[in-house]
Amino acid sequence: MKQLFALIASVGILIGALGISTTVVAQDKAATPAATAPATATPAPAPAATPPAAAPAADAKAEPPKADAPAAAPAAPTAPVLVGADKINSGDTAWMLSSVALVLLMTIPGLALFYGGMVRKKNVLATLMQSFAITCLITILWVIAGYSLAFMPGGSFIGSLDRLFLNGMLFQKDAAKLTVSHLGVTIPESVYVMFQATFAIITPALIAGAFAERMKFSAMLWFIGLWSILVYSPIAHMMWEPTGYFAAMGVLDFAGGTVVHINAGIAGLVCALVLGKRIGYGKESMMPHNLTLTLIGASLLWVGWFGFNAGSAVAADGRAGMAMLVTQLATAVAAMSWMFAEWMVKGKPSVLGIASGAVAGLVAITPASGFVGVTGAFVIGIAAGVICFWAATSLKRMMGYDDSLDAFGVHCIGGITGAILTGVFNVKEISGADASVMTQVYAVLATLVYSGGVSFILLKVIDMVVGLRVSEEEEREGLDVSLHGERVE
Amino acid sequence: MKLVTAVIKPFKLDEVREALSAIGVQGITVTEVKGFGRQKGHTELYRGAEYVVDFLPKVKIEAAIKSDMLDRVIEAIEKAANTGKIGDGKIFVFELEQVVRIRTGETGADAL
């Protein structure tokens, strides 16, 4: 029932938001020839001819959105177009179909187990439930409006409603025609929608790490649903759709260091601050109840991340290969650097430590993965391990917030580390784009302010309407029994 | 007859059991317990979050013995459970009024 309310409410709000955005579009429109360097007139089947997936294709401004633009447009498309089935590259498509499965695996069961093992036993089902329910909720919202708002050309800050309910996304068997996104011209649009859906799913699911063990399930659904529409879609649009604000500035974010990790991490910190600490925090032991689950979850995240980073090439090509290589390397380095840092400071290399270090490395290499070489991967790995270790232990203790499972300490801090170092270690030979540290920093700050601000408002409103926290009695009893009527023995 | 109760460090249980068997103690009862002593617990840090450890896990053993064995039993436990560090535990001695072996109905020292 409440899901239904959430749906209705979010659609209402997004229509309001769109009213604002169209004014922005009007001011921002500058019709320039859209073709950017590597995209050829007819997208050849050779993977090398695909335009870079993410930000570097950036200085193109929007043409007025035309969902059903003619297939034989001479320039590279700036909106989804209907093409002949022969334009589809089967290698790219096969890899992207696989990537969808890999990235979905990151949330269910990867993140669910990673978080589920870290909570106390009385809250494990509630924590698994959050990841699973978020997967379902966001899938629905993504098809209804999220994809259209994020990945259709529109204004600087948000897309359009041209693909509401995926209206206009076509596959015609007899005519041998189908639509492709302008962000991945060699694969069917349906695959691109699904690929991006898995990103939209994991991002809000990451936030759950910050409010674990104390948030009402109903309030969680409201918050996540609204956040996805009001925060995730706009930030994804700004960064990845060529008409977007950050994309036009030349900000580099290959697979979502800013869009996914900083975005979710700062929202997590705001959740932790607004909800307050868990009862007994600072006095009672809040040790993970089952690090076996956590390590399995971290491993699934790692494997799934190949779909996340190498998949963000939107092609089965050399860039995907490089992205996979630096992802593996940076992750291993970060896991070791966290482990050694902890060993030196605390005296023992912990299981939670090495698992968290690996995730920190995955997070930090995410924005850089299609742009840096081996040197960059090494440095990003070392930095991520040490800095995130500091954030999840010393910084958290110093500031006194209860970021239950370190969504902020690992994802936001790791994401910032990666976003800035992407500007430092970008290799033009690999990325085909210039990078500027200052531009990177600007996008980071803008995301922190926007995501943090909107999250704060959403939480305050939801607190007034349905209440954010469970009662003290329910929290003491554990969310498994008090919210879901079930328990693990 | 005496009842000797000792609270010891859990990992010392095997050594204490062997030492008591060696001097002829016929049986003991073991319970996992928690408690604090003069150190009162302490604060620990996990992943940046402090928590107080009020009660430490210990093992409590109980042995019913003849009075003439008391000194040897105390000595055996003391030696076997000693690490020289804080938290080695304590030995308590009680007078024991009666013992009954349920199967046979024997009482007193015969039932030990």
* CB pair distance less than 8 Å for A392 and B47: yes
Residue of A nearest to B52 (CA): A283
When CB atoms are compared, the residue of B45, B48, B52 closest to A392 is B48
- Residue that wins the pLDDT comparison between B40 and A193: A193
| Residues listed for chain A | 489
Measured on CA atoms in the order A249, A255, A261, A264, is the torsion positive or negative? Answer: positive
Instruction: Inform me whether the C-beta atom of residue B47 falls under 8 Å from chain A C-beta atoms.
Output: yes
Question: A208 — phi, psi (to 5°)?
Answer: -55, -25
Strand order across the B2-8 sheet: B29-35, B56-65, B2-8, B89-95
Instruction: Inform me whether the C-beta atom of residue B49 falls under 8 Å from chain A C-beta atoms.
Output: yes
Q: Is the pLDDT of residue A193 over 90?
A: yes
Q: Are B5 and B94 spatial neighbours (Cβ–Cβ below 8 Å)?
A: yes
- How many Å separate Cα A112 from the centre of its chain? 16
Model confidence, pTM? 0.82
Q: Are A405 and A210 spatial neighbours (Cβ–Cβ below 8 Å)?
A: yes
Q: Is the pLDDT of residue A2 over 70?
A: no
Give the confidence band of A7 by pLDDT, cuts at 50, 70, 90.
Answer: very low
Q: Which amino acid is at A360?
A: A
Q: Is the pLDDT of residue A431 over 60?
A: yes
Interface probe for B, chosen from A120, A286, A410 (most Cβ of B below 10 Å), is A286
Question: Residue B40: exposed, middle, or buried by beta-carbon count in 10 A (0-12, 13-18, 19+)?
Answer: exposed
Give the confidence band of A74 by pLDDT, cuts at 50, 70, 90.
Answer: low
Beta pairing, strands B49-53 & B42-46: antiparallel
Predicted local confidence at residue A346, as pLDDT: 94
**How far A266 CA lies from chain B's nearest CA (Å)?**
19
When CB atoms are compared, the residue of A286, A352, A395 closest to B51 is A286
Question: Any idea what DSSP says for residue B17?
Answer: H
For A321-335, how does the pLDDT look when each residue is reduced to its tens digit (9 = 90+)?
999 999 999 999 999
Tokens of A485: 């009527």
Residue of B nearest to A278 (CA): B49
* CB pair distance less than 8 Å for B49 and A282: yes
Predicted local confidence at residue A23, as pLDDT: 38
> Percentage of residues in chain A with pLDDT exceeding 70?
85
A137 phi-psi bin (left φ>0, alpha ψ -120 to 50, beta other): alpha
For the segment A271-291, the average pLDDT, to the nearest whole number, is 96
Between CA A447 and CA A441 the distance in angstroms is 10
Lowest mean pLDDT: which of A113-127, A273-287, A455-469, B37-51?
A: B37-51
Q: Is the pLDDT of residue A42 over 70?
A: no
Predicted local confidence at residue A398, as pLDDT: 95
**Mean pLDDT, all residues of chain A:** 88
**SS3 at position B68:** helix
Q: Is the pLDDT of residue A49 over 60?
A: no
Predicted local confidence at residue B54, as pLDDT: 86
Long-range contacts of B31-40 (CB under 8 A, 24+ apart): B31/B59, B31/B60, B31/B61, B31/B62, B32/B57, B32/B58, B32/B59, B32/B60, B33/B7, B33/B57, B33/B58, B33/B59, B33/B60, B34/B58, B35/B7, B37/B87, B37/B90, B39/B86, B39/B87
For B47-74, how does the pLDDT look when each residue is reduced to its tens digit (9 = 90+)?
989 899 888 999 999 999 999 999 999 9
Q: Is the pLDDT of residue A130 over 80?
A: yes
Residue of B nearest to A405 (CA): B47
Q: Is the pLDDT of residue A65 over 60?
A: no
Predicted local confidence at residue A221, as pLDDT: 98
**How far B7 CA lies from chain A's nearest CA (Å)?**
24
Q: Are B97 and B28 spatial neighbours (Cβ–Cβ below 8 Å)?
A: no
For the segment A213-233, the average pLDDT, to the nearest whole number, is 98
For A81-98, how does the pLDDT look when each residue is reduced to its tens digit (9 = 90+)?
999 999 999 999 999 999
Q: Which amino acid is at A409?
A: G
**How far A392 CA lies from chain B's nearest CA (Å)?**
7
Interface probe for A, chosen from B47, B51, B54, B56 (most Cβ of A below 10 Å), is B47
Measured on CA atoms in the order A296, A300, A303, A305, is the torsion positive or negative? Answer: negative
* CB pair distance less than 8 Å for B47 and A393: yes
**How far B105 CA lies from chain A's nearest CA (Å)?**
41
Q: How many CB pairs under 8 A join A and B?
A: 33
Measured on CA atoms in the order B77, B78, B84, B85, is the torsion positive or negative? Answer: positive
Instruction: Inform me whether the C-beta atom of residue B50 falls under 8 Å from chain A C-beta atoms.
Output: yes
* CB pair distance less than 8 Å for B47 and A352: yes
Instruction: Inform me whether the C-beta atom of residue B43 falls under 8 Å from chain A C-beta atoms.
Output: no
For A338-374, how does the pLDDT look when each residue is reduced to its tens digit (9 = 90+)?
999 999 999 999 999 999 999 999 999 999 999 999 9
Question: Any idea what DSSP says for residue B71?
Answer: H
Measured on CA atoms in the order A187, A190, A193, A194, is the torsion positive or negative? Answer: negative
Q: Give A 280-319 residues with CB within 8 A of chain B.
A: 281-287
- Residue that wins the pLDDT comparison between A435 and A18: A435
Predicted local confidence at residue A75, as pLDDT: 75
Question: Residue B91: exposed, middle, or buried by beta-carbon count in 10 A (0-12, 13-18, 19+)?
Answer: middle
Predicted local confidence at residue A29, as pLDDT: 38
Chain B hits for A352, CB-CB cut-off 8 Å, are 47
For the segment A383-387, the average pLDDT, to the nearest whole number, is 98
**How far A418 CA lies from chain B's nearest CA (Å)?**
22
Beta pairing, strands A177-180 & B2-8: unpaired
Predicted local confidence at residue A255, as pLDDT: 97
* CB pair distance less than 8 Å for A286 and B49: yes
